[in-house]
Amino acid sequence: MRNLVLAALASLVAFATLPAHASLADRQSDNARVETTEPAPYSGQTVIQGEIVSD
């Protein structure tokens, strides 16, 4: 019984000391990214309240 308890305790300690590995996606999402915004190209259409008005 004592050996079983010691083995269980040792396995719990060994499991707790294993490092937690983040996936590559997790590590890359933690990096700050700075991107410039680009305006949408002008379509030449007149839009009033969400409706396209033909010229």
CB-based contacts of 41: which residues, under 8 Å, 6+ apart?
none
- Going by C-alpha positions, the residue among 52, 15, 30 that lies closest to residue 7 is 15
DSSP letter assigned to residue 18? S
pLDDT at 8: 92
pLDDT at 20: 67
7-51 per-position pLDDT tens digit: 999 988 888 777 666 677 777 777 777 778 777 776 676 767 767
CB-based contacts of 46: which residues, under 8 Å, 6+ apart?
52, 53, 55
DSSP letter assigned to residue 48? E
